[in-house]
Amino acid sequence: MLKTTLLFIATALAEIIGCFLPYLWLRKGGSMWLLLPAAVSLALFVWLLTLHPAASGRVYAAYGGVYVATALVWLRVVDGVSLSFYDWIGAGVALLGMSIIVAGWKLQ
């Protein structure tokens, strides 16, 4: 479970970075050159998703829970926004859902 969770976190960071860099270009006046590392990051994101042993739909469903939690950590660390009680509860519920789905992988 730990290996899967760490792989999901790396996958989420690749996706978030791949989307954040074009956001910096489009909304914050960043350089158009940000699109190159964004494309690399999104290609890494897709490749990381292929490393999971389950069917793609299950991987995407479980990944969603980790993405939610990682995005909230990004919100706190990168954007400097304090997380609310509801943010923490929502992240916990999302991670619980991911854990349930991943635990079922062994039963298939």
Could you report the per-residue pLDDT of 28-86, keeping only the tens digit for each? 999 999 999 999 999 999 999 889 877 788 888 888 999 999 999 999 999 999 999 99
The pLDDT of residue 31 is 95
State the pTM of this model.
Answer: 0.85
Do residues 63 and 49 lie in contact, with contact meaning Cβ atoms separated by under 8 Å? yes
Tell me how many domains the chain contains.
1
Element (H, E) at 89: helix 85-105
Q: When comparing pLDDT for 107 and 77, which is higher?
A: 77
Do residues 8 and 62 lie in contact, with contact meaning Cβ atoms separated by under 8 Å? yes
The pLDDT of residue 108 is 63
Measured CA to CA, the distance from residue 27 to residue 4 in angstroms comes to: 34
pLDDT at 9 over 70: yes
**Domain residue limits at 21:** 2-105
